[in-house]
Amino acid sequence: MERSDRIAVVGAVDERLIGDLRQLPLRPEVRAWRSLGAEGESVLRFEPTLVVVTLPDEPGEEIGALRLLRQLWPALGVVVATEAARETAAAAAAGKLGASMLVWPCGPGALAAALEHARHRSDRPRVESFLDLAHGLADEINNPLLFASGWLQLLQAMPDAPAADRRDQLQSALDGLARIAASVERLRALSHAAEGPQRRADVDLAELLREELARRPRTPGNARVVAPAGAPAVVGDREQLRSAVATLLQFADELAGAEATVSLRLDAEPGRARLRLVAHGGMLAHWRLPQSFEPYYPTRALRGQNAGLGMLLAQTVVLAHGGQAQARRLPDGGLQFDFVLPA
């Protein structure tokens, strides 16, 4: 049985934040201490995988103690939690530690995202940065796209019809613009998903998985999908959850197309539903785990397969629905992606 995360909460942390940590779908073990300097030995015995800390106005002693913990456990992830009024000072301290930042209270999914960011000690931008970029690009591209598309359609419809070769050129240009428009829509879907469910209903994930599986071309023989009946309902936005499921199926097919062996399985667990994708293959040995959910990293890692924004979209949907998304390296070298939603 997998051992749950152990999270040490240190400092004057709001009790509501501690409660939110304990209520995460993966149910980490959470314990609180007032100070690393005074209670460091007790924290050491707990052997945390993650530390969530609020720093005092003079944080020198706590920063020194956190650095010592990191020397003992190089894989330890650290999240510096702060209220908005102290964000600038906390960000400076987090920078010295190479820690993730959490401004709390926070929006949907921000807590789980900060923990995952800290788990890998990643230097990539936080998820919000990618989402802001996606929203901005969609807005910036859309107006000139509509302008160019409108003029091309006007030329195509003019009474003096152009010659056949010119018509073909116009149609090729319109087809290219349609592909750009589809990319803009993916960017918009990503930014909307970050805002959380637009509507809420009971959603049967097993049914969604079977529906999306039926819509796809034949799944490669080295990709196995298990969607048992009787999985618990998830409360959320059906179309957003559908897009996440479709993305995971596409990712599984692309991994299989790159000659990995892949399984995607939906499991019902007490109080939650878990979609787990496991992949094995020699080409995954060099996969950079902290970049698993970055835009287009899977495309580069799979050498031209079209994962694109998909994994970031799946992560964003799950986080915004109060779930968790994690990427892990297995002891045998394989990759395991878990997307867990509260049932």
pLDDT digits (tens, 9 = 90+) for 233-282: 899 999 999 999 998 998 998 888 888 899 999 988 888 899 999 999 87
Residue 134 confidence (pLDDT):
63
Segments making up each domain of the chain, as ranges: 6-119, 127-193, 201-342
Residue 65 is classified by DSSP as H
Tell me the C-alpha to C-alpha distance, in Å, between residue 10 and each of 48, 174, 204: 11, 58, 39
What is residue 37's three-state secondary structure? helix
Give the residue-averaged pLDDT of 122-128.
Answer: 59
Q: At the top level of CATH, which class does the domain 6-119 belong to?
A: alpha beta
CA atoms within 13 A on the CB side of 8: 24
Neighbour order of strands in the sheet with 261-269: 223-226, 261-269, 272-280, 335-342, 324-329
Taking 90 as the threshold, does the pLDDT of residue 8 lie above it? yes
d(CA 60, CA 65): 9
Quick one: CA torsion of 268, 271, 275, 277, rounded to 10 degrees? -90
Residue 135 confidence class, pLDDT cut points 50, 70, 90: low
Least confident range from 96-100, 115-119, 136-140: namely 136-140
Residue 268 confidence (pLDDT):
86
CATH architecture designation of domain 201-342: 2-Layer Sandwich (3.30)
Closest CA to 242 of 309, 302, 189: 189
Residue 334 confidence (pLDDT):
93
Residue 94 confidence (pLDDT):
85
Q: What is the pLDDT of residues 271-318, one digit of tens each?
A: 889 999 999 987 788 888 888 887 777 767 776 555 567 888 899 899
Closest CA to 321 of 244, 232, 209: 244
Give the residue-averaged pLDDT of 166-178.
Answer: 73
At residue 104, what are phi and psi to the nearest 5 degrees?
A: -125, 140
Taking 80 as the threshold, does the pLDDT of residue 132 lie above it? no
Least confident range from 38-42, 84-88, 151-155: namely 151-155
Select the highest-mean-pLDDT range: 68-82, 115-129, 234-248, 296-310.
Answer: 234-248
Residue 39 confidence class, pLDDT cut points 50, 70, 90: confident
Average pLDDT, the chain: 82
Give the residue-averaged pLDDT of 215-243.
Answer: 81
Closest CA to 50 of 107, 104, 103, 10: 10
Residue 161 confidence class, pLDDT cut points 50, 70, 90: low
Residue 336 confidence (pLDDT):
95
User: Which amino acid is present at 107?
Assistant: G
Same fold, 6-119 and 201-342: no
Residue 213 confidence (pLDDT):
86
Taking 70 as the threshold, does the pLDDT of residue 123 lie above it? no
pTM: 0.75
What element of type H or E holds 194?
A: none
Return the exposure string of 238-255: e unless at least 16 CB atoms fall within 10 Å of the residue's CB, then b.
Answer: bbbbbbbbbbbbbbbbbb
